[in-house]
């Protein structure tokens, strides 16, 4: 970038910069202490042309060709602002949570999912109910074999006999207060975002799809003793992450810090410091990411 000359004042500098823009020359104007404005040109190979235009401008700054160029640039800027304003209306932001018909900051279906999870957790705190409830909602009541191949060959006895609900019901089981608190916190935000943007049916499809896939993955990897919404939460996270990345016009966006924090927690689970369903987390995330990429490509 190099200075090609000076013009008397700001209005002249803006007008000349607009003219250069119409000629396909990228420029920058800046004030000097003496009141004049310097003109910078970005591309070295455009400097001779720009200097020629500058001589013409200084000779006749009020020529119609320069006024017309400035008007055309302003017209294009106004059109661009209109487009950006319309795009902004399609983009979901956190402020939307406070301007919609939400209950406790949640869309209706998300609220139902949170409500069911909390109700089941509260029931599980009753000693006489807890064993029966867990047996009814676990993916299986039986520990089959010691390896994934054993479970693949002989497992899921109840589901094979028609208890299909067990494929999804483990997502509603939570084992301590921090477990359900953090899962519901994430479900509230991620679920509401998807429900507002795509509707309740799409959210339910995502929850069911990522829930079943993550439940099956965790079962075959480690057996039936697991539960929680975290596989679904990671699925929703992966979906929003990839959909926003590959389809920016969708209005989905996750701050990089959020993604990094969730990935760190995912990796922490593999340290063995806590009893975490790592298979459900990883498979849920992978399935959500794949869903998001496919949706983005299809939409585009």
To the question of domain 2-90 being in CATH 3.30.70.2350, the answer is yes
Q: What is the pLDDT of residues 112-166, one digit of tens each?
A: 999 999 999 999 999 999 999 999 999 998 888 778 888 888 889 999 999 999 9
Q: What is the pLDDT of residues 48-71, one digit of tens each?
A: 999 999 999 999 988 999 889 888
Lowest mean pLDDT among 47-51, 77-81, 234-238, 268-272: 268-272
Computed over every residue of the chain, the mean pLDDT equals 87
Say if pTM beats, i.e. exceeds, 0.85. no
Structure tokens at 40: 């910078």
**In what helix (H) or strand (E) does residue 220 lie, and over which residues does it extend?**
helix 200-222
Helix 177-198 to helix 230-246 angle (10° resolution) is 40
- What is the architecture, at CATH level 2, of domain 94-299? Up-down Bundle (1.20)
pLDDT of residue 88 exceeding 60, the answer is: no
Helix 230-246 to helix 278-299 angle (10° resolution) is 30
Helix 108-124 to helix 130-137 angle (10° resolution) is 130
Domain boundaries along the sequence of the chain: 2-90, 94-299
- The whole-angstrom separation of Cα 156 and Cα 94 is 42
Known catalytic residues? 230, 281
Q: What is the pLDDT of residues 269-283, one digit of tens each?
A: 777 666 677 888 999
């Amino acid at each position: 970038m190099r200075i090609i000359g000076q013009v008397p004042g700001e209005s002249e500098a803006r007008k000349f910069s607009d003219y250069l823009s119409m000629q396909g020359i990228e420029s920058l104007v800046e004030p000097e202490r003496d009141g004049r404005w310097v003109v910078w040109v970005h591309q070295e190979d455009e400097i001779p042309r720009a200097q020629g235009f500058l001589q013409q401008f200084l000779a006749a700054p009020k020529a119609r060709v320069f006024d017309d160029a400035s008007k055309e640039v302003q017209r294009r800027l106004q059109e661009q602002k209109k487009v950006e304003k319309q795009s902004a209306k399609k983009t979901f932001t956190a402020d939307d949570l406070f301007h919609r018909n939400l209950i406790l900051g949640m869309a209706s279906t998300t609220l139902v999912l949170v409500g069911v999870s909390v109700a089941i957790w509260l029931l599980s705190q009753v000693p006489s109910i807890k064993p029966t409830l867990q047996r009814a909602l676990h993916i299986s009541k039986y520990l089959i074999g010691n390896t994934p191949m054993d479970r693949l060959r002989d497992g899921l006895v109840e589901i094979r006999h028609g208890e299909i609900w067990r494929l999804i019901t483990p997502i509603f089981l939570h084992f301590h207060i921090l477990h359900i608190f953090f899962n519901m916190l994430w479900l509230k935000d991620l679920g509401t975002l998807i429900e507002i943007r795509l509707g309740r049916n799409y959210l339910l499809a995502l929850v069911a799809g990522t829930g079943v896939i993550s439940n099956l993955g965790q079962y075959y990897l480690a057996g039936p003793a697991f539960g929680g919404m975290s596989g679904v939460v990671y699925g929703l996270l992966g979906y929003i992450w990839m959909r926003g990345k590959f389809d920016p016009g969708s209005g989905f966006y996750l701050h990089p810090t959020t993604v990094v924090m969730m990935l760190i927690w995912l990796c922490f689970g593999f340290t063995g410091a806590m009893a975490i369903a790592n298979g459900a987390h990883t498979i849920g995330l992978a399935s959500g990411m794949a869903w998001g990429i496919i949706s983005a490509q299809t939409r585009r």
